[in-house]
Structure 1
Amino acid sequence: MIFEKIRDCIMSRTNLSESVVTMQASLRDDLCLDSFDLAELGIELEDVFAVTIPDEDLIAFHTVSDIVTFMKNSTK
């Protein structure tokens, strides 16, 4: 459920298919998200999950899995 919401947020900002947006996908290398894209994604994720993502956590995300782990820990 968390992964699917994150995947949907990423897919809504890119032209990528579900098969590309995997848990192991690198945000920068595989999904080609730059710092501006990540900032916008962070804002959307904060709205979707009703959490605050500190800047230092946002820039530390390297893979989709990193975001999933953060959200699991933040929404307990």
Structure 2
Amino acid sequence: MSVVDKVKKIVADKLSVDIAEIVPEASFVDDLGADSLDLV
């Protein structure tokens, strides 16, 4: 598993989103629904 895949899995788990939604162009707030506490 590459570092990118590991980061995608962690982000998907923490933000409760599908791993397919996590792409380099995605915005944490606008596309993935993160709030200010998620970004800390």
TM-score by length of 2: 0.74
Give me the CA root mean square deviation: 1.1
Contact kept in structure 1, 2:15 and 2:38, CA below 8 Å: no
- More helix, by proportion: 1
Count of residue pairs the alignment pairs up: 39
Unpaired stretches in structure 2, ≥5 consecutive residues: none
Identity of paired residues, percent?
26
Tell me which residue corresponds to 2:18. Answer: 17
Q: What amino acid maps onto 1:16 in structure 2?
A: V
Q: What amino acid maps onto 1:34 in structure 2?
A: D
Which structure's CA Rg is the greater one? 1
Query: Secondary structure of 1:7's match?
Result: helix
Residue 14 of structure 1 and its aligned partner are, at CA, apart by 2.2
Q: What amino acid maps onto 1:37 in structure 2?
A: D
**Structure 1 stretches of at least 4 aligned residues deviating more than 3 Å after TM superposition:** none
Residue 7 of structure 1 and its aligned partner are, at CA, apart by 0.7
Q: Which has the higher contact order (CA 8 A, sep 6+)?
A: 1
Alignment partner of 1:37 is 2:38: yes
Residue 17 of structure 1 and its aligned partner are, at CA, apart by 0.8
Residue 6 of structure 1 and its aligned partner are, at CA, apart by 1.2
Tell me which residue corresponds to 2:28. Answer: 27
